[in-house]
Structure 1
Amino acid sequence: MVRIFEIPEILCLICEQVPKYELAELLSTSRSFFDCAAPLLWETLPQSAPLILIKLLPNGDSYLKHDHNTIVENIQPLDSQSLVRFNFYSPYVKKISPNKWLPDGQWNAMWYRLFRLIKTRPILPKLQVLGISLARLGDGTLRDPFTWLSALLSPSLVEIDDIRDRYAHIPMGPQSLCSFISNAAQRCPRIYSLSLNNVARYEPDPSFGTRIASPFSQLRYLRILVLEGVVLEPQLFTALSSLSSLKSLALEEADNVNFMIQPKRFIPHDFPAVQYLELTLKSQANIIKFMEAICKFSPLVNRLSLKCTTHSEALLSPELFSVLSQLPLQQLTLRLHDHDCAPLNSEQFARTFPALEYLHIYGYIFTFRDFTFIAKHMPQLRQLLLMVRVGANQGWPSINELSSLTLSPSPSQLYFYLLPIPLSTGRGALPPSRVSKREVAAIAA
């Protein structure tokens, strides 16, 4: 049996098919199997990565007994003999992938302890993808946070994902953001994806664009950028325009911003290479002018996602459709704030975007008439996601009325949010169990 685990082809098959927890149990089967399976087991570490790595050290559990909010200043770096096991496994780690919702800042505190124990920089020399919450780096829990964070930034790193921390009360401010990007630009010259979801800027800062422009300009290979919680001011776009390789850009405007962009100053420079654009707007009343600038300076955008928390009715206006028709759109996502927008001119909409392949619209309730125009004038549609309200007098034919309609099969994928009918008393909505199966069957047909 042991000899089977010496055959390279069989080892590869086992490592590809067997779950990781079973691979761990088989590591001691043979040296050949260990050499084949160990890189797979250590390639991706979860949110508890610092805890796992600390346990590789002699008496590692002793460093885990303190309260996680306590900074252990008396920890001293370990000698080379104590790091033999750690140094053997650390080059295998290529990705740190924490949960999307972190419970608190305990893992950042664990990283801090690990960095005090390990003198080698970077401590994970082959790391390629880093997922970590940066929201708590400036909350006073950790001393000199960017010094120890830089120990994770290696030349091999190509993707940084700042996981959104819903429990953090002190997101990154502009100074921390500039420091982090400057550090990343120096230590990770080949980074191509940067997602910062814990940024917080509530007021315009004329010096911000100048300070951030230099580190951004060093990210020559950056292709994907996500910035959430920023003021969409001209200085920011001036800085971002230095990213000549940028293909995907997602920006979310900060909450409670009393600041309006002058459309003519919206984008001082162009983004000729951007193909995917996602915008979450919270204070822009003149969305039409806003998007005119986008179309002018980013003519290659073929995937667009727009979300408005105010003035969202503009997302369904004919004027906006006319502006967006200038783009070679293949995918379009519109997210409205509520369901009470003005009626959509669905025929004009469908005629404006005949080449769309993916259409997702949230916050608008579609009628059967809307649906027929989409089916008639958008022949290339491959995926459609709409919200519909089922029930009597909702504009959808019953299953008995379908016999008079000419129906033909379609390869398109259709997704419906089935909304119950609000009660006339305004006290709520009919429960899903009251929705007629015949109504649902009619829509499905």
Structure 2
Amino acid sequence: MKKLKLGVLLTVLCLMLFSCASGNPYAKVDNRVSRGKYREGLELIEKDKKKLYRDKDAILYYLDTGMLNHYDLEYRRSTELLQAGERAIEAAYTKSITMEIGTYLLNDTTQEYAGEDYEDVFINTFNALNYYHENELEDAMVEIRRMNNKLQFLSSKYGIIVDNMQKKALENSAEIPPNQAAGKTTFTNSALARYLGMLFYRGNGNYDDARIDRDQIKVAFANAPSVYTYPLPHSLDGELNIPEGKARFNVIGFSGSAPVKEEETLRIFIPNARYIKIALPVLVFRPSAVNRITVRFDSGESFSLELLEDIEAIAKETFKGRANLAYLKSVIRGTVKGVTSSVLDAGSERTEGGTALVLGILSLGTQIFAEASEKADLRISRYFPAKAYVGGITLDPGIYSYTITYYSDNRVVDSLRQENVEIRAGGLNLAEAVCLK
């Protein structure tokens, strides 16, 4: 009983020593970004780069700065950064397939950040938009095809990793039950990717492939009802029915900020007054003030944008696989550390004198180390949007000025003004707006 009380006391002291409230190191950057001051946000990141991003966080740096450059209309620089992030994510995944169980014995934060699946997928969305804005439509279409290929791969992406981890766990005498849910997702088709594909094909005059992607939007909604919980945009069918001599104008409006992570802690008690600590990352949505977006022309025409892609819902769906993987890894780590502590404790019971004391202290120290070292990996990029709204209108070709307005009910949250924009017949006229509030 005295040993148990001492263990509890030391564990509490350990928690006090290793726990500290560091706050949000990105607060200043977030503040600038929420007000649309993307260049200032980038300058703050570069100023505090070493504090915000460790060497193992290179992917986070590429994603954050790549997205902010996109919002700042620096499309070529955005592409360079996002493609660097994409290559690093691919390399990290390849490396993870062959990782030994020993690499997981501290916690996931000691490893290179490998990117969330939704981040990897939506890299291609914004690279496609980068290329479109640079009048490189063929390259934009390549990005959409890459995105679709990644989505098809998601359902089996983690199977090899799970198998390897379970094999290594058994080799370490850690009896880990198979986790059939690990790594699986039902999300394999993005309405936003298909929408962009439809627009790009239409812009190239390829209406047959445009119809295929238009129909695939409907398939995406039908096959993932837990993600697409809202109706199809009403403007969808009008996208391929443009009268001769008329022009079609489309808008994509991004709003809100994608989720961040928080830690959830579980403890599983095992014999000899020991327990396994499991620290898991959970996604936390960031509230957005925006619930309505309109486009109004100075000439009187207007239309509302409709929700097409709930990116934060997709982040949640694709996170399921990685969350199950994190659970499995945490159990393996806890079991290995718990076995070590129990062996040392048993040794102290079988011996006497100084040896027993040393083994007892080592046993207790091992449990304290397990408590302190088990931390959830809370790394995630911060500047992907939460939602994508779309809409379109058929107009006479000409020069137009318009305002895109973001609302919270009837209150104006933000607006984007564009003047003297040429809207042409027979081509793609696509505008993009962003409000991360």
Report which structure shows greater RCO (CA 8 Å, sep ≥6).
2
Both proteins in one fold, TM over 0.5: no
More helix by share: 2
Q: Which TM-score applies when normalising by structure 1?
A: 0.27
